[in-house]
Structure 1
Amino acid sequence: MAGGEAAGAVAASVDAEVVLAGGGIAGLATALALRRAGVARDVVVLERHAELRATGAALTIFPNGWFALHALGVAHKLTSRYDAYETSKVTNLESGATQFFRFAGNKACSEGVKLRPIDRKALLQALAEELPPGTIRFSSKLVSIDTEPAAAAGSSETAVVRLEDGTVIRAKVLIGCDGVHSVVARWLGMSEPASSGRSAVRGLSVFPDGHGLKRELRQFLSEGLRAGMVPISDIEIYWFLVNNTVPAGKPPPARSHAVSNQLQNIRKKASNFKFTEKEAAGDPIKTLREVTENLANHMPEEYLDVVRHSDHNNLSWAPLLYRNPLSLLIGHQAAHGAVTVAGDAFHPMTPDMAQGGCSALEDAIVLARALARAATPAEGIAAYVAERRWRVAWMVAGAYLSGWVQQGGTNVTGVRGYMVKLFRDWIFYRFVFPRLADTMWFNCGDLTPHKEGKDHTE
């Protein structure tokens, strides 16, 4: 595959200009951005898996993501393959009410920046194809990080990266793009991701003869559950189910007496798992049984039919984690000299505003541009963190609050729960979410190759 090769036999010690830990969206986009901006020629991407990952099955790219992909020069490879959509339909199964809203709000959109759901692996391949062969080192798991004085006088420290196979890589710049449980973020001393109190099952369903569904996001709300589905092509549909996490051995809390007996039975089923999340995660058969026979068995048949067509290789069930946005604002751990983080390693967030992948693409552009303009890597990384922390803190907070409200107040009961749902049904979808969507039209800017021989790695 273009842009990568298996680790195979490796030298005991390797020198590199820039090392990126993680070959997901953040890692590949940042590697490409660094090359486009002319910051470094020798970029190494460490991917612990044997091939490009596709965890999450699909994602929606909002305008801010398309602006970044245009800057990277790969947008055209994806817009020609995936159709755009502009509307969402939300049905409350308790009341039977359905609401429609537009993601664009009052924004005028060109064809190139409309919302498009795309296959995650297609995005990774589009980025990887632009990288020179050998850039991605597959089956390369990062296990530890250290620093040592740089050989050149006046230079910053050198990052010493050790891999599971014993390889040692010395890098002038280290960027952690290694996900929510980032080794690099932990080394930097960043706070551990926190639980949102919710988990999500996500899958990709295939209809070889076509599904015939309209290009829009459909969502269904129930007590402690939120389900959704959106076509990404004529034969593929991305679907998800978000459930309130129920601690093992703890019965669900009592609910308002105003709810009908039928709904109380539904809630009881939703919290009385046939399999625990830990048991079902990683086992597609158990996961699908839990969704179709228990958690979502009261969902509309059209949704259940989509779930039953799931590709077992693109199915996941995992807790939704996020980093405290306050720690992103006041903490200074996101950078240490020429070491920093990007994407989920920097700002893990819940998927409720579909900004995980888009924000990672923004990071790539801003980081490469900051490094290109700075006199030293440490100065560039400091500038990148200073520029990004306010926006990403807002995105993490907005995503968490959006999911909490849409869920009807995660694990909130009684009068408070009733008020949250009232706010959701009458105010949030009509007035708040369209404004949140408007903030997703942020343009991170272009990549301008640096000049005057300012190569930080020479």
Structure 2
Amino acid sequence: MVEVGEEIVIVGGGIAGLATSLGLHRLGIGSLVLEASDNLRSAGFGLTAFTNAWKALDALGIADLLRQHHLRLHGNVTNSAISGLQTSELPFKAEGKQGDHEVRCVRRNLLLEALAKELPSGTIRYSSKVVCIEESGFFKLLHLADGTILKAKVLVGCDGVNSVVADWLGFKKPAFAGRYALRGCVDFKCSHGFEPNFMQFFGKGVRSGAIPMDDTTVYWFVTWTPSSHEEELEQDPAKVKQLVLSKLGKVPDQFRAIIENYELDGFKPLPLRYRHPWELLWGNISKGNVCVAGDALHPLTPDIGQGGCSALEDGVVLARCLAEALLKEPTGETKEKGEEEDQKHEYERIVMGLRKYAKERAWRSIELISASYMAGFIQESHGKMMTFLRDKALVGFLAGFLLKMADFDCGKLIIS
């Protein structure tokens, strides 16, 4: 079988993979993105893009395009699903380190399309599943399901929670958080009537909410901890729908109607998974000329809305670190060496670039994983004491905490 040489191969055409590829493209470096499916992935429907995501999207040059199609949210409004009363309201106008907070709920497919549209033709190769990774000197050999073998100078794994690349680096499979999620998107075809707020409802072990995307479309979600009996129902959408409706509690009729009228095909529970943060302390975010980003690096629960946002951060930082390594001019002494010596020096620069990326993203990833898990624990606890503390004292803290985690700038695509 003939080996096809490639500079940078990115496994996974989701948010992290496309953001990394576009970041590299903006810096004048080409890459090949391998996507296992036969088209762009759009699972998840919506993405709550917080301030840190817009900083990354600005750096990538597609933020203004997406702003045109999505409402800017005014604030976070939290209600108790037990009493039906509002427990907290936090305006997003409050200024952070990065200025006023910018929050919009973005259609995931529009985000992926915007990223892909800016890439050169042929950058994304669909129906390309990686089945095996091998070492070959300063290169990595990627064996694809169709028999193709790619020889890569740099391998980036952006292939999600079941990452082949993360597995090669020695990471364990992400742990089950003990909770399930349902999410969907409803296009009302006319004005939906929801205020432009991030609306959340907490009570009896359930977190639910609705977020307007634009004037006619609303994204909704429900997360809960199932009993052993409830887990047996997950294969029956009709029973899952009835279960979820019974768990919502005292929520506005306008929100309940969305769940009641949603098609049955949307009631397939998604198990929530996360990586234990301590794995990033002793694991290999990068090893040689290989690294991971996005969910392959830091799968986290959705409780602070940072999964997609942090994947965009990863893409910008990784592109910047790789470009610094690859575009660095070799010394005069290196220029006079042979091809093998040139490859060695380039490999060493790549290794240093990926180590820089890993160092920059490690603590940020640990912080986000830990914060998401803690927020989820508080939000979905249903003991009397924790419910009282959450609704009376912690709910405002949680809303502010959500903004604090988003008050971050990954930097621009500028090489130092």
TM over 0.5: yes
Worse overlay, 220-229 or 353-362? 220-229
Partner of 1:321 in structure 2?
A: 273
Q: Retained in 2: the 8 A contact 1:61–1:116?
A: yes
Secondary structure at the aligned position of 1:180 is classed as: coil
Q: Can you give the 5+ residue segments of structure 1 that lack an aligned partner in the other structure?
A: 1-10, 150-156, 249-271, 410-416, 451-458
Deviation at 1:393, TM superposition (A): 0.3
Partner of 2:310 in structure 1?
A: 359
Partner of 1:206 in structure 2?
A: 187
In structure 1, what is the Cα distance between the partners aligned to 2:317 and 2:148? 30
In structure 1, what is the Cα distance between the partners aligned to 2:263 and 2:101? 29
Q: Retained in 2: the 8 A contact 1:105–1:438?
A: no
In structure 2, what is the Cα distance between the partners aligned to 1:86 and 1:28? 29
Q: Retained in 2: the 8 A contact 1:26–1:177?
A: yes
TM-score, structure 1 normalization? 0.81
Determine which of 285, 300, 304 is the counterpart of 1:349.
300
TM-score, structure 2 normalization? 0.88
5 Å-filtered alignment, 1:298-447, equals 299-310=251-262, 316-328=268-280, 330-374=281-325, 376-408=349-381, 417-447=383-413
In structure 1, what is the Cα distance between the partners aligned to 2:240 and 2:179? 16
In structure 2, what is the Cα distance between the partners aligned to 1:56 and 1:12? 38
Deviations 1:154-213 (A, max 9, x none): xxx211111111111111000000001111101100132112111100111121133111
Secondary structure at the aligned position of 2:21 is classed as: helix
Secondary structure at the aligned position of 1:370 is classed as: helix
In structure 2, what is the Cα distance between the partners aligned to 1:112 and 1:315? 36
Secondary structure at the aligned position of 2:13 is classed as: coil
In structure 2, what is the Cα distance between the partners aligned to 1:24 and 1:348? 13
Partner of 2:52 in structure 1?
A: 64
In structure 2, what is the Cα distance between the partners aligned to 1:147 and 1:191? 21
Q: Retained in 1: the 8 A contact 2:98–2:408?
A: no
Deviation at 1:373, TM superposition (A): 2.3
Partner of 1:79 in structure 2?
A: 67
Determine which of 198, 218, 231 is the counterpart of 2:199.
218
Task: Indicate how the Cα distance of structure 1 residues 218 and 168 shifts in structure 2: closer, same or farther if over 3 A, else same.
Answer: same
Q: Is residue 238 from structure 1 mapped to residue 219 from structure 2 by the alignment?
A: yes
In structure 1, what is the Cα distance between the partners aligned to 2:167 and 2:365? 18
Deviation at 1:440, TM superposition (A): 0.9
In structure 2, what is the Cα distance between the partners aligned to 1:36 and 1:113? 26
Percent sequence identity over matched residues? 39
Q: Retained in 1: the 8 A contact 2:73–2:92?
A: no
Q: Retained in 1: the 8 A contact 2:94–2:100?
A: no
Q: Retained in 1: the 8 A contact 2:97–2:407?
A: no
Deviations 1:263-297 (A, max 9, x none): xxxxxxxxx57x622x14xx6x66545434x4447
Q: CA RMSD in A?
A: 2.3
Q: Is residue 144 from structure 1 mapped to residue 132 from structure 2 by the alignment?
A: yes
Secondary structure at the aligned position of 1:68 is classed as: helix
Partner of 2:9 in structure 1?
A: 19
In structure 1, what is the Cα distance between the partners aligned to 2:62 and 2:93? 26
Worse overlay, 94-103 or 22-31? 94-103
Partner of 2:341 in structure 1?
A: none
Worse overlay, 393-402 or 86-95? 86-95
Secondary structure at the aligned position of 2:273 is classed as: strand
Task: Indicate how the Cα distance of structure 1 residues 341 and 108 shifts in structure 2: closer, same or farther if over 3 A, else same.
Answer: closer
Paired residues in the alignment total 394
Letter in 2 for 1:407: E
Q: Retained in 2: the 8 A contact 1:229–1:240?
A: yes
Task: Indicate how the Cα distance of structure 1 residues 201 and 112 shifts in structure 2: closer, same or farther if over 3 A, else same.
Answer: same
Q: Retained in 1: the 8 A contact 2:73–2:104?
A: yes
Deviations 1:303-330 (A, max 9, x none): 22112443677665211111011111x2
Deviations 1:338-397 (A, max 9, x none): 100000000000011110011001001111111222361111001100111001100110
Secondary structure at the aligned position of 2:95 is classed as: coil
